[in-house]
Structure 1
Amino acid sequence: MPTIDTTLYLKNQSTSRSPGNQLGKDEFMKILMTQLQNQDPLNPMDDREFVSQMTTFSSLEQLMNMTSSIDNLVESQLISPVIKYSHLVGTNVSYPTFDEETGEKLDVETSNVIAVSQKDGWAILALENGEEVYADSILQINDTTAEKD
């Protein structure tokens, strides 16, 4: 004969709960199920009231899913290199140039940033002089708008 796991007895279940300030879909479903279990059998819950509560539950679930999606969108935008370096558009930057054959450092050039793009997770700055450089290779940033004022 199989034995019953004593940890599953109701008396062994934790009766303490930690209060929270959010009512989620699981808590809403528990309330609804408790309400259904404890209703008067001679006077059951009105169909319209039940449908209204299920509609509320569905709306709650959709709102929670939408909140989660927005949180994911915001998080992905915050780590995007394009967003991170977009403030450089319109600034004058200095960057090193290298000999393509030898890899030897030639000089430091400057140009205005006209766009920011992303390649393999790295931010690439498109410059007014036609060059494209990785954002992490920038040596100096000069705000050209401050000079015009």
Structure 2
Amino acid sequence: MKIDDNLFLQNKPDEKKPAGNSNLGKDDFLKLLITELQNQDPTQPMDDKEFISQMATFSSLEQTQNMSEAINKFVKNQSQNLLSSQSDMIGKQITWEKSSTDADGKNSTDKVENTVAGITLKDGEIKYVTDKGDLVDPGQIDSIWDEDKKKAMT
């Protein structure tokens, strides 16, 4: 009897890994555990301590995933709260430092006075949109005032 060469391990074709997530999730872990239980030797069942350890690992994995989902929801809500908490800036006058580069490649910084026309949140960072269309980082602002109150004081 001759053994087919294709059955040798070194001749086995490379199996392509399925596209997608390469991390094991809780469903994968549970499938592995069930398969292990189904295929165990009935004369030598799994040790109780080992089984309890695997169940604890499964429980820990599930709790970690639940916590990760909760943190992601919390961060999303915080970002939305941050944006809405800044809405009182709309209509305020701001003085800020605007950096620019001239044709000769020289950098300069000018004090600019604009009205905040809107607020944007991108990648977790707040930017004020001025009436001239500039995006201003809050760290660039030197002063903030209400234009109507400023006129009343003068």
TM (norm. structure 1) is 0.47
TM (norm. structure 2) is 0.46
